[in-house]
């Protein structure tokens, strides 16, 4: 634990936190853009989500698991409405 404290000074931690906050903001902004205004999740939306996940370095294996889970849910419910 002492090693981590010597590597990450409070200033470095602050800069890291700020950088990660920007990445998080960008990721969620891209996710919102992929699904905004859509009335259902279809193949086009899934393709957009897959692209956002891959470009955001989520990883191929994780992206595949997420997309497969969404596809399973979509096929079960026929579509997922974004509005009630």
In angstroms, rounded to a whole number, what is the distance separating the alpha carbons of residues 71 and 45?
Answer: 11
pLDDT at 84 (0 to 100): 41
pLDDT at 64 (0 to 100): 92
Q: What is the per-residue pLDDT across 16-65, written as a single tens digit (0 to 9) for each?
A: 788 777 777 777 787 777 777 777 778 888 888 888 888 888 889 999 99
Domain ranges of the chain: 2-77
In angstroms, rounded to a whole number, what is the distance separating the alpha carbons of residues 43 and 49?
Answer: 10
pLDDT at 61 (0 to 100): 92
Matching residue, tokens 């999740």: 41
pLDDT at 15 over 60: yes
How would residue 78 be classed by pLDDT, with cut points 50, 70 and 90?
low
- Range 2-77: architecture per CATH: Up-down Bundle (1.20)
């Amino acid at each position: 634990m002492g090693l981590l404290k010597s590597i990450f000074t409070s200033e470095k931690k602050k800069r890291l936190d700020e950088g990660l906050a920007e990445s998080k903001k960008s990721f969620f902004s891209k996710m919102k853009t992929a699904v905004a205004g859509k009335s259902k999740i279809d193949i086009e939306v899934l393709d957009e989500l897959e692209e956002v996940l891959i470009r955001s370095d989520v990883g191929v294996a994780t992206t595949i698991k997420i997309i497969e889970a969404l596809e399973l849910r979509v096929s079960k419910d026929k579509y997922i409405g974004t509005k009630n």
